[in-house]
Amino acid sequence: ETGVTQTPRHLVMGMTNKKSLKCEQHLGHNAMYWYKQSAKKPLELMFVYSLEERVENNSVPSRFSPECPNSSHLFLHLHTLQPEDSALYLCASSQDIGSGLGYTFGSGTRLTVV
């Protein structure tokens, strides 16, 4: 692993389910991010946290709810998702939210909404 661990690796959920994605980083970084990666589309930034405080919510629907209890852990709570939400969800961390260099990504959670 790269220092950023995501669980689960795969998730299949129904549209009425509630589930959570977990991300953990062991790099001592202060910033953490959630990205969505869909086929044939650029990575979409969803949320940015700096020192456990959310600093950006990129117009993400409320059915996605992030939580950052400390600087090492990041969650993405999911409820009443739609099939078009099926994608690879990537967590990343960086030392700070400065120049954008030095992002470390996890391996992602492959989400399928049925």
Q: Which of 16, 41, 83, 84 binds another protein (CB under 8 A)?
A: 41
Q: Is 90 in the site for another protein (CB under 8 A)?
A: yes
Q: Does 5 bind another protein (CB under 8 A)?
A: no
Q: Between β-strands 104-105 and 87-94, what pairing exists: parallel, antiparallel or unpaired?
A: antiparallel
Give the other-Cβ count within 10 Å of 46's Cβ: 20
CA 35 to chain centre: 5
Distance in Å, CB of 103 to another protein, minimum: 7
Query: Is residue 46 near another protein by the rule CB under 8 A?
Result: no
Distances, alpha carbon 107 to alpha carbons 6, 18, 26, 54, 101, in Å: 7, 22, 14, 22, 18
Question: Which one of residues 19, 52, 56, 73 is an interface residue with another protein (CB under 8 A)?
Answer: 56
Contact residues: another protein, CB under 8 A: 2, 4, 6, 31, 40-43, 45, 48, 55-56, 90, 92, 94, 96-108, 110
